[in-house]
Amino acid sequence: MSKDKFKRLKKSNSSDKTSSKIVNIIKILSMIDAGEKVTASRLSEELEVSEKTIYRYIRAIQDAGIPISYDKDKKSYDFDGNFSLKKVIFNPEEFSNFMSVRNIISGLGFPSDAPFFRVVERILSNTNINLQEKTFPMLVNLGMTVQSPENEKILSILNQAIIDRCRVWMKYYAYGTKEITEREVAPYGLIYCDGFWYMIGMCDLRNATRTFAIDGIREIRSTNHRYAIPKDFNLAEYFSKSFKIVVGNDVEVVVRFSSEVADHILRKRWHRFQKAEKKPNGDVILYFNVAGTEEIKRWLFSWIPHCEILSPPYLRDEVKSELKKTLKKYL
């Protein structure tokens, strides 16, 4: 046999030993995690290695940071404390982030027994964090939400319909017209905004993509009528120019905000298509390219008397007319 062949054989043998060691360590950990009685003599017999080798395995496990020791009362090796391989190991930052996500979902109006929360509770019941001793320094306040078991059922039906690509029949109450109509809709997606859930889809009654308030759906059922979501449809892009969720014609809205509120206005970006211009007197002018003016008009009312609509003229006239009607109630 050549020297090269001899070297290859020795290398293969070393690899086999390493693999065997890894497999044996996994077996030891699995036995302990299953609550079995684990001793050096039993392990030596089952794994067919010497007890000296078993002690080397135990030291390797301890060196890896897994808390394992011999419990004299149990007369068995065991994990220290409440450690378990089944547990989800969080560091403090990860745990805070996880709980923040749970709080955000809680604020979306789902009942406490919704599927998401059942999954969360299973994770929390198998975590290394003691919930009784833990406080959560972060709070995500999404405001008041529509909380209704009926909403959860509707969201579940719509979610399944989107997965299956099956149209839904529904009886719908439109808050704007106060009318109830029946229609079939091919749901494209769901969006949460200001405490309410909405469904976006192709409406057969209007032959157009429309947005429907979930709490306006009085009856709903899936159909066996299949559909396809257009390849060029993107939910985020669909709403990209709307101020919130209402989609209309593109328009540039120009608003002057007084210096008294300029710092507050500049604290955040209010819209994806927004530009800001600071004036020498401290005022700020914001330029918005939005799809429709109804929602931005409602938002601007919250800044009165510190804002003035400069453009478009028709929006300025609408606000002027509504302010006159409001003043009559107070004069």
Read off the pTM. Answer: 0.62
pLDDT digits (tens, 9 = 90+) for 81-109: 777 666 555 555 666 666 666 666 666 66
Q: What is the mean pLDDT of residues 163-190?
A: 95
- What average pLDDT does range 305-311 have in this prediction? 97
User: What percentage of the chain reaches a pLDDT higher than 90?
Assistant: 49
CATH: 2.20.28, 2.30.30, 4.10.860, 2.60.40. Which one for 149-235?
2.30.30
Q: Answer whether 14-79 and 149-235 agree in fold.
A: no
More confident site: 134 or 298: 298
The span from the CA of 57 to the CA of 17, in Å, is: 13
| Exposure of 163 in the CB half-sphere (CA atoms within 13 A) | 6
| Cα gap 283→64, rounded to integer Å | 61
Please give the residue that has the higher pLDDT: either 190 or 96: 190
Domain locations along the chain: 14-79, 92-133, 149-235, 250-330
Q: 14-79 has which fold? A: Arc Repressor Mutant, subunit A (1.10.10)
Helix (H) or strand (E) holding 251: strand 250-257
Pairwise CA distance, residues 56 & 116, whole Å: 43
Neighbours of 291 (CB within 10 A): 19
In this structure, the dihedral spanned by the alpha carbons of residues 105, 111, 117 and 121, taken in order and rounded to 10 degrees, is: 130
Report pLDDT digits (tens) over 241-270.
Answer: 999 988 889 999 999 999 999 999 999 999
Instruction: Return the pLDDT at 165.
Output: 95
